[in-house]
Amino acid sequence: MQPNDLDRIARQIRLRDLQAVFEAGAGHIGGEMSAIDILTALYFRVLRIWPDQPKHPDRDRFVLSKGHVALALYVTLAKRGFIPEEEVATFLKPHSRLNGHPNCNKVPGVETNTGPLGHGLPVSVGMAKAAKLTGAAYRTYVLTGDGEMQEGSNWEAIASAAQFGLDNLTLIIDHNRFQQGASLKDTNNLAPFPPKLAAFGWDVTEINGNAMDEIVPALEKRGSRPHCIVAHTNKGHGISFMQDKVDWHHKVPNAEQYKIAVAELSEAL
C-alpha cells in the first residue's frame, strides 16, 4: 500500500477507536491517536503476517510494549482480519477477550502480554535473539512510549541488543512528549533519545511519526545493527481539542466533545 492508502486506513482506525472509547467509557485515547499511524504502516505495509494463521512460524513479530493503548491494536487487528470487526464493540465488557491490556492467550495477533511498562522491549530482544539462534528470517518490531523509556529494563535490553548484534530488531519510540499526568520534560526527561541510542551502538532514525511518507521508509530500513526509530508524534493526533494535552492520556470525551471529534475525523475520510 502507498502512503495515501495508509493515511485513509489510519483515519478509519482513529474513528473506530474514538467510538469504542466513547462507548466503553474508558481508554487511553491520547496515546492511541499518536500511535495509530505507526500501527497502520506496520500491519498494512511492513509486517509479513498471515491473519488466518496468526502463529505462522515465519511471521514477523510485533510487540506493543505501551500496552495501555491496546484498543488501537485491537482496532488495527480487526481491520487487518485477525479478529471480527464487530468484536471491537465488546471492548472492556464482561467476558470480552478485549481487555485494557493485550493478552496473547486470548487475542489472535498479540505476541505477548504487556501493560507493566518496560517489559515489551526485553521480550522483543529475546524474540530477535531466538531468530538468530535458530536461523529464522522473521523480524521483530516493538513500540514503546517515551515515558516508558524511563524504565531501566529498557536500557538493559538496549545494551543487550547491541551486544548480540540484533540487526533483525526495530524499536519504535512513540515520542509524543507526554505521559500520565505530566509532560516528559517535567518528570525524568531522557530526550533527546538519538544520541543515547547511538551511544549504545544502535542505528537511529528520527521521523515525524504521524507522516506516512516518513514512517514507511524508516520501518523498511535495514542495516547491520539494531535500529531505533524516534517517532515524533502528537498526543491526541487528529482531534483538535485533544492534541498535545496531557489530560487526554486517560480521559473519555463527553457527548459534545465526541460529536466534534467524530466530525473532525470524518471530514478527513
Q: What pTM does this model have?
A: 0.97
Residues 162-182: tens digit of each pLDDT: 999 999 999 999 999 988 888
Return the pLDDT at 184: 83
**Cis peptide bond upstream of 217, omega within 30:** no
How do residues 73-83 score in pLDDT, each as one tens digit?
A: 999 999 999 99
CA dist., res. 96 & res. 268, Å (int)? 31
Q: Which domains does the chain have, with CATH numbers?
A: 3-267 (3.40.50.970)
Residue appearing with cell numbers 525524568: 188
Q: Which of 177, 181, 149 shows the shortest CA–CA distance to 248?
A: 181
